[in-house]
Amino acid sequence: MATSRRDKADSYTLRAHREGYPARSVYKLQEIQESCRIIRPGDSVLDVGAAPGSWTLYVHRQLIKGQGRIVAVDLNPLGLNPVPPTVTSFTGDAFSREIRAQLTALGPYDAIISDAAPMTTGNRSVDTSRSEYLAQQVMLLADEQLKVHGNLVIKIFQGGGQQAILAQMRQKYAKARTLKPKACRSDSFETYLIGLDKKENPS
Ligand SMILES: C[S@@+](CC[C@H](N)C(=O)[O-])C[C@H]1O[C@@H](n2cnc3c(N)ncnc32)[C@H](O)[C@@H]1O
């Protein structure tokens, strides 16, 4: 992930650097965890769009506490060195047939977390529709690979059909909500959809 001048001046970025995380996004997951308790020690977690690896490292260090496992997938390799022992990583499109087969072989998961984002073009309507597509793909992945009672986090760009996906989540999860962490940049239009306690029989 490129570091811009804006990143360098950002207090979250400086803190991430001090604490050994490759990206400031770690504090978004921290806030989501503090408010929704999505991951517990010993969980099996799938991290979609995981590079450079801050969420993965935070889950390893703080949430599963070295007892569970993390499967991390991204178009780009993780930037973690060393890769923690709880982590299995795949490089490629999370929704391709080949990678899905590998994710399935290691599933099902107690939690699926997705910070996946498209390459932005600057055209908001193109960017939001690409983000919506990714979010829909993660919903489908969770239908197949998230355990009953499991928890789901999906990033989506606001305006990208998030109300429709939230409505689907309400049918499939006991609780569903939107959360925009304080660590999101003030000019960012990203937000997170959170599904808690996957139902056995969707309504
Ligand atoms: C904001 S970054 C994720 C940051 C990460 N959560 C962290 O804390 O280091 C978004 C990532 O989504 C990935 N991505 C986008 N589309 C993807 C896809 N189809 N399959 C896998 N990863 C994807 C991008 O390559 C990018 O690395």
CB neighbour class for 97 (10 Å; exposed up to 12, middle 13-18, buried from 19): exposed
- Provide the whole-model pTM: 0.94
Residues 48-61: what's their mean pLDDT?
A: 97
- Is the Cβ atom of 55 under 6 angstroms away from ligand 1? yes
Residue 85 has which token pair? 């022992």
Ligand 1 pocket, residue 160 CB under 6 Å:
no
What CATH number labels 5-198? Answer: 3.40.50.150
- Residues 149-181: tens digit of each pLDDT: 999 999 999 986 899 999 999 999 999 999 999
DSSP state of 45: E
- Looking at residue 6, its pLDDT comes to 52
Phi and psi torsions of 135, nearest 5°: -60, -40
Spacing, Cα 82 to ligand 1 middle (Å): 19
In angstroms, what is the span from residue 203 Cα to ligand 1's centroid? 31
21, 74, 95, best to mutate for ligand 1 pocket (most atoms within 8 Å of CB):
74
Residue 155 a catalytic site member? yes
For 90-102, the pLDDT digits (tens) are 999 999 999 999 9
What is d(CA 184, CA 159) in angstroms, rounded to the nearest whole number?
16
Residue 75: both structure tokens together? 């178009």
Domain map (residue ranges) of the chain:
5-198
Establish whether residue 45 lines the binding site of ligand 1, counting it when its CB lies within 6 angstroms of any ligand atom: no
Distance of alpha carbon 199 from alpha carbon 32, whole angstroms: 21
* CA–centroid distance, residue 148 to ligand 1 (Å): 25
Binding site membership of 137 for ligand 1 (Cβ less than 6 Å):
no
Catalytic residue among 65, 147, 155, 199: 155
* Cα dihedral 22/77/111/153 (nearest 10): 70
User: Would you mind telling me the total number of residues written for the chain in this entry?
Assistant: 203
Share of the chain above pLDDT 70, in %: 95
Task: Say yes or no to pLDDT of 82 above 90.
Answer: yes
What pLDDT, in 10s, does the model give residues 85-138? 999 999 999 999 999 999 999 999 999 999 999 999 999 999 999 999 999 999
What pLDDT, in 10s, does the model give residues 4-32?
A: 545 445 899 999 999 999 999 999 999 99
